[in-house]
Amino acid sequence: MLKSRTLDSMGSDGERNPQVTSVKCKIVLVGDCECGKTSLIQRYIKENFNENYTPTSFDTYNTTYHVSDTYRIQMSLWDTSGSHMYDSVRPLSYADADLIMICFSVADPESLDHAISRWSREVREHCPKQPMILVGCKTDLRTDATKLAELAKKRTSPVMYDQALKSAKTIGALVYSEISSKDSQRSVNDVLEVAALSSAGNKTSTPEQSPTFRRQRSFMRRKRFSGIGEAKVQLRKEAAKSCCIM
């Protein structure tokens, strides 16, 4: 069953509701420097986008996703640095992780190469069984004239969906999703909420014995490369069912 705790809370009518199930999940974001990890987190939590880039060392953000009136997921989002300077300490971030998000920029093909050759290998070394999500960030730059000209000078082009999709399958990602932290709040909400729900499904001492976990993982494997919004709706339903069997 899910590791959870039940909290007393007040319902919308002012009456005491003693059946609020709270699940804690740790989600770690990795990827190259400047690929969009921090913007993704801050857009989700603060609902705004900061044009200015500030290098990350290691930051932790805490937020709560309310799945329903009786079920919420307390997310601890770990924002890690992609710099090689932190290679020796970054593995500490993986301890007790429930899910890993490997991020890359669709405007930087090399960052997708690194997602496969560097990040997925590092993740599997330290988190051999945890689910992974591959996230293509900065989709707004696919049509940005300045960025396209810059890439053309290098004789390259933005990463397209099908290309990233193939990479996601190669590394065994549970989901591939694309986001624009600058232009689309919804895309950011969808991918982080699916990550939260998938993490909650992984919070079990014996995953293979959990019917809810199997349903979630089975659904995600069928839908992982299309309709992440639909996946979120289905996982919300499964999460509601899980509250009844805890």
- The whole-number pLDDT of residue 68 equals 82
Mean of pLDDT values over 47-58: 78
pLDDT tens readout for residues 14-23: 455 558 788 8
Q: What is the pLDDT of residues 95-110, one digit of tens each?
A: 999 999 999 999 999 9
- Which sign, positive or negative, has the C-alpha torsion 116, 122, 128, 129? negative
Higher pLDDT, 17 or 122: 122
What share of the chain in percent tops pLDDT 90? 60
Which burial class, exposed, middle or buried, applies to 189 when counting CB atoms under 10 A from its CB (0-12, 13-18, 19+)?
middle
- Nearest-5° angle of CA 151, CA 155, CA 157? 50
What is the pTM for the complete model shown? Answer: 0.79
Secondary structure percentages of the chain, helix, strand, coil, to 5: 45, 25, 30
Q: What is the pLDDT of residue 50?
A: 82
Chain segment 133-174, per-residue pLDDT in tens? 999 999 999 999 999 999 999 999 999 999 999 999 999 998
- What's residue 191's pLDDT? 92
pLDDT at 58: 86
CA separation for the pair 150, 153 (Å, rounded): 5
pLDDT at 244: 30
The pairing of strands 58-68 and 132-137 is unpaired
Mean pLDDT of 30-52: 91
Residues 238, 216 contacting (CB under 8 angstroms): yes
| CA pair distance 122, 127, nearest whole angstrom | 8
Q: What's the CA gap between 91 and 52, in Å, rounded?
A: 27
Secondary structure element (H or E) that encloses residue 61, with its range: strand 58-68
Please name the helix (run of DSSP H) or strand (run of DSSP E) that holds residue 79, with its range, or none.
Answer: strand 71-80
The dihedrals phi and psi of 187, each to the nearest 5 degrees, come to -65, -40
